[in-house]
Structures are given as structure tokens and as C-alpha cells.
Amino acid sequence: MKKAVTYLLVFLCIVLFASCKKDETPPPSKINILSPAANTSFQVFDTIEIKLLIESQQPEVGLRISLLDANYSPASPINPWVVSSFETNVEATLHFLLVYEYLESGNYYLYFKVTDQSGTVNTYRSIYIEGIHRAFEGVFIVSEVSANQTGIEKLGIDLTGEKIKIMAGNYAGSAIDSRNRNFFLAGKNSGNLTALNTDSLSFEWDVPIVANPVQPYFTFLQQINEVLYAGFYSGEINGYNPSGDLIFTTHADGLTFPNLMCHSGNLLVVSSTSRSNVFEYWLETYFLASGVSNSKTKLLIKPIHLKALEDEKVLVFGNNQNSHIETKLLDPETGLITNPYQPFSLPDEKLKCAVNISENLTFLGLEGGIYLYDYQKSMSLLTTSLSPEILKWEDISQTILAANGTSFFVLSTNGQILSEHDYSYPILNLLLHYNK
């Protein structure tokens, strides 16, 4: 009997101890959306003031905010906004900028995702967005006039010339910011990074190049949202706002120089080339909030194009040692590079250029023609009549613009050439211009 009582007491102690341990586990976080009110109306480019209260006893809490359409699908290829720092258990005010210029008028949802040690908590807030009618205004052709001169010509909607300007310097990169009416050009060994007004091609601001650089100075330009990113041979990438103010820089190690980039969540993904060996390539990631390096991984193919996917991984299109197209998949958080699932064979051809069409679709310009690549599904040949060096996608008219040498073409989505245009100089880039 005493043994039975002893066993019972031990059992009760174990139960009580287990109950105490269980009670010490913090409950899941709770999120309360205080504003905006449900069904509040906004316009594209408005800033939404969000007030929320996250109740939590967890040591670490993560928050992501994104915009969904009426079917709860991502409303934009722009990745979710990762809120890097906020306080729990106090009312917080955040500002969400609607930089989604493609949006049509309609009902949308702000999607809030809170993660902690207990899992994930989701909530939604319905809003109405009035879209702005988006219109195609023409094309800017960037051309090589001479070894130290770069030409810029503005073509109208009918692709006839409107304005032309000759800039001193050889070519490193060009970009366009339609909303702020800025066209950008940078020289490789000579020529400043210069911002021009898209209407008049008049000077706006510049970032000077150093005099007679021993190595190339600028390496590329790329516009994402309202930030112009410029790559430098010294290794860093600087970000400039529409007024030309420096607002971002990466803390690079100086061993590589950047060539391409894209956003993925809260990270900047960069493909770069070794300064000591131009046949050695790397994928680097930096935190957008600070510019601090997150990862750096050697890449066994020469990258030609980067595509951010919905799951925040990055698909890399490039060429292998045999100069044939090959793809790789990067996890930006860890820097891990793997082979993507691909239930089809890639052609034994060199990749020359690419352009994104949607989250899954990409047009590829190869030696043998233009292909449509559907991620994890298929790859189909559109035409063999053209091997472009430049591809652009005009989404309003649903047409492809392609350039090769001194000619550029307009094609339908099935590869049919709709028009051909000869140009005076070798074409370096085509930049599409819109009203916003």
C-alpha cells in the first residue's frame, strides 16, 4: 500500500511538472489591424498608413506585408515587404507605398503574416485601389556612335524618331524611370552617370566618373521601383533616389565587380565577376536595409539573367563552360545554389539575352532563335528567324521588341515579325517608356 501511494505521488509530481513546463510556453502572437479601416480607398502611388498592435510574449517575431488581389493571389511581382524592426505589445505605425503601377482598379487585400516560435498567424484587410491608366509612350534606343560616344534617340509610339542626343563616353549601362521622367546613362571608362529628362533629354543631375580610370568605373545600371542602382568596378553598388541623392550602398569586399541584380524579399541579389579572374562568377546577397553582406557563393555558369520567383528564390539563367544555356536556383537567405526542377531538356545553344514576362514566363534569346521558358513546365521555340542580342516585353500591346546589330524588330507572342527597323549604329539597349 505504501508503495502504491509512493508511485501515485511520483506520478502526480511528474504530471504537475509537465503542466508547469507546458504553462511556460508562450502563447502564439496575435495581430490587431487598427487602420486602415476595411474597404478604405487608395490610388496607385499612395502611401498607406498602417497602424497595428502585435500582442506577443515570444522572444522573436517576424512580420511581412504584401498585397493580394481579389483571388488572394500576389498582386505584383514585387516581393513582400519584410518589416525588419518593430515593437510588440505597443501600437506601431508603418507606411506601405503602393508602387505597383500595373494595378487595375478593384478590390485588394493587405496580407499580414506574423511568424514566431509557435508558427504563423495570418490576417487580411480589404482595401480598394483605383488604378492609373497606363500608356506606352515610346522607345529609347541607346547606340554606339563611336568608341567614345554613345547615342540616345527617343522614338514615339509609332517608333519614329523624335529627339536624338550624343553623349561623351563609352557604354556601361542605361535605365529609365518613367514615373519620374528620368533617363539614365553611365560610361564604362569615360562618361559620367547622367540623368536626363525623358521629355526634353535635358540634363537633370550626374555622378562624375574619375578622370582617366585605370580600370572600368561603372559596370551596370538598373532601375527598381524608384531607386537607380549603379554598379562600380571597385565592387560596391550605390542606390540613388530620383533627385540623385545617395540612399544606399553595399559593403562589398572589393574582390568582385557586379554585373546584374534583382530584389528578393529583404535582400539584394547580385551576380558578380572576380576581379582577378574574369571567368570566375559569384552570387552575392546584401540586406536592403543596411547594405551589409549576407552570403557569397561561387557560381559555375556565367550569369546572363536573374529572375526573382514568388517563393523568394532566384532563378539564374546563364551559360556553362561549353557556352550552352544552363539554369541554377539560388536560395538568397542561405546562399545555397541547386539545380531547379526542369522536366525538359535545354537546347545546346548559347543564351544571349532574356526578359521576364510574368512570375513564371520568360522569353529567352538564344543562338538558334527565341524561346518561351515556362518555369518547371516547358520550353518552346517561337522563331528561328532571329537571334537577338536584346529582348524587351511591351505588356500593353503584348509584343516583343528585339535588337540585333543595327536592326530592331517588333514581334508577336508567337514569334511572327510584325515590323523591322534599320538603325544607323549598333544598338546597345532598348528602353521602353510609359506615362508612369
For 9-62, the pLDDT digits (tens) are 434 344 444 444 445 667 888 889 999 999 999 998 888 999 999 888 887 888
Q: Are 195 and 184 in contact (CB under 8 A)?
A: yes
The DSSP line for 206-222 is EEPPPSS-SS-SEEEEE
Do 153 and 77 share a structural domain? no
Q: Are 58 and 110 in contact (CB under 8 A)?
A: no
In a domain, 98, yes or no: yes
Phi and psi dihedrals of 152, rounded to 5? Answer: -125, 120
Distance separating alpha carbons of residues 183 and 200, to the nearest angstrom: 10
Residue-wise pLDDT for 126-184, tens only, equals: 999 998 788 999 999 999 999 999 999 999 999 988 889 999 999 999 999 998 999 99
Distances (CA, A) of 102 to 76, 359, 420: 8, 14, 28
**Which pLDDT score, from 0 to 100, does residue 77 have?**
55
**Which pLDDT score, from 0 to 100, does residue 219 have?**
97
Kindly state the cell numbers that stand for 419: 515590323
Do 101 and 154 share a structural domain? no
Which of 198, 177, 50 lies closest to 101 in space, CA to CA?
Answer: 177
**Which pLDDT score, from 0 to 100, does residue 9 have?**
41
- Give the residue ranges of the chain where pLDDT is below 50: 1-22
In a domain, 323, yes or no: no
Kindly state the cell numbers that stand for 222: 538598373
**Which pLDDT score, from 0 to 100, does residue 153 have?**
95
pTM: 0.77
**Which pLDDT score, from 0 to 100, does residue 311 have?**
83
Q: For the domain that residue 149 is a member of, what is the CATH number?
A: 2.130.10.10
**Which pLDDT score, from 0 to 100, does residue 85 have?**
60
Q: For the domain that residue 103 is a member of, what is the CATH number?
A: 2.60.40.10
Q: Are 344 and 379 in contact (CB under 8 A)?
A: yes
Q: Which of 75, 110, 130 is at the close of a domain?
A: 130
Q: How far apart are the first and last CA of the chain?
A: 86
In a domain, 251, yes or no: no
Domain enclosing residue 421, as ranges: 136-163+344-436
In a domain, 43, yes or no: yes
In a domain, 405, yes or no: yes
| Sheet containing 267-274, strands listed edge to edge, beginning at the edge strand earlier in sequence | 256-264, 267-274, 281-287, 293-299
In a domain, 310, yes or no: no
In a domain, 276, yes or no: no
**Which pLDDT score, from 0 to 100, does residue 20 have?**
47
The HSE-up count of residue 2 (CA atoms within 13 Å, CB side) is 0
In a domain, 401, yes or no: yes
Q: Are 148 and 168 in contact (CB under 8 A)?
A: yes
Q: Which of 108, 130, 152 is at the close of a domain?
A: 130
Distances (CA, A) of 177 to 4, 168, 436: 81, 22, 8
Give the chain's domain count: 2
Do 151 and 75 share a structural domain? no
For residue 36, cis peptide bond before it (omega within 30 degrees of 0): yes
By DSSP bridging, strand 161-168 and strand 173-177 are unpaired
Chain centroid, CA 43 distance in Å: 23
Placement of cell 502564439 in the chain: 28
**Which pLDDT score, from 0 to 100, does residue 21 have?**
46
Do 153 and 85 share a structural domain? no
Do 152 and 84 share a structural domain? no
Which of 97, 105, 111, 113 lies closest to 49 in space, CA to CA?
Answer: 97
Do 436 and 363 share a structural domain? yes
